[in-house]
Amino acid sequence: AQTVTQSQPEMSVQEAETVTLSCTYDTSESDYYLFWYKQPPSRQMILVIRQEAYKQQNATENRFSVNFQKAAKSFSLKISDSQLGDAAMYFCAYRSVNSMYSGGGADGLTFGKGTHLIIQP
Amino acid sequence: GAGVSQSPRYKVTKRGQDVALRCDPISGHVSLYWYRQALGQGPEFLTYFNYEAQQDKSGLPNDRFSAERPEGSISTLTIQRTEQRDSAMYRCASSLVPQRGGPDTQYFGPGTRLTVL
């Protein structure tokens, strides 16, 4: 089974600065997908960015980018020019490509425990 | 609809009662997922459907939990004989295509906050 680890329970950053949230995962698969979801105080779950493991190029979405290191099984999220609206819980998630090797729950997402991001004005 | 909707948004029940949680996916979305999220934790996968067929229920904690999606649209997660440990946020998500393990994005509903007294 896959596991996702977010080692930073909480991070704080000044408005307009850059912050990086870390995520590592454990898998024996070679193909998979990785996601970052944002959960603001409203408790919605909003997709921020996703990365296909077979792609070497790091995904970017406006101020959000990832640093995907496949060999190290690391998938960090960088938020540039932080804004007050970025304050939220951020969850890293993994999804298998080939459910044959992944056992039960292969088609659901496996989430980390989350990082609470605080934006200081 | 515009997004995934869930009802009720809040449910308080007494231990031993049965509860039914409803999910209405985005129109046209084929796959529907159920997750449970304890406070301070990430969502935990429970089960999912492609159309009306339940593909994987290995994440359901025990046989008190069941789910159905009889017409391939709205789904109901039922918890029988609720216990205090069942208290959590129950989230539903849907995605467009029935692609096993693919990249298809899952869109989440607002969740149902269940409290078992």
* DSSP calls for chain A: --EEE---SEEEEETTS-EEE--EEE-S-SSEEEEEEEE-TT---EEEEEEETT--SPPEETTEEEEEETTTTEEEEEE-S--GGG-EEEEEEEEES-GGGT-TTTTS-EE---EEEEEE-
Q: Is B9 a residue whose pLDDT tops 70?
A: yes
Cis peptide before B43 (omega within 30 of 0): no
Tell me the pLDDT band of A105, cut-offs 50, 70 and 90: very low
A41 touches chain B (CB under 8 A): no
For chain B, give the mean pLDDT: 91
More confident residue, A65 or A95: A65
Take residue B69 and report the two structure tokens written for it. Answer: 């999606």
Q: Phi, psi at residue A96, to the nearest 5°?
A: -70, 155
Choose from A23, A30, A45 for mutation: most chain B CBs within 10 A. Answer: A45
Minimal CA separation from A100 to chain B, in Å? 10
Of B59, B91, B111, the CB nearest to A105: B59
Contact B46, B91 (CB under 8 A): no
Residues in chain A: 121
Please name the residues in contact with A8: beta carbons below 8 A apart, sequence gap of 6 or more: A21, A22, A115
Rounded distance, CA A8 to CA B71, Å?
A: 42
Residue type, A35: F
Please state whether beta strands A3-5 and A24-26 pair in parallel, antiparallel, or not at all (unpaired). antiparallel
A11 touches chain B (CB under 8 A): no
Minimal CA separation from B95 to chain A, in Å? 11
Of B41, B43, B100, the CB nearest to A107: B100
Rounded distance, CA B71 to CA B16, Å?
A: 29
Q: Which of A90-99, B20-29, B36-45 has the lowest mean pLDDT?
A: A90-99
Burial of A24 (0-12, 13-18, 19+ CB in 10 A): middle
A91 touches chain B (CB under 8 A): yes
pLDDT digits (tens, 9 = 90+) for B67-112: 999 998 999 999 999 999 999 999 999 988 755 555 678 899 999 9
**Interchain CB distance below 8 Å, A109 and B55:** no
**Interchain CB distance below 8 Å, B56 and A107:** yes
Q: Is A101 a residue whose pLDDT tops 60?
A: no
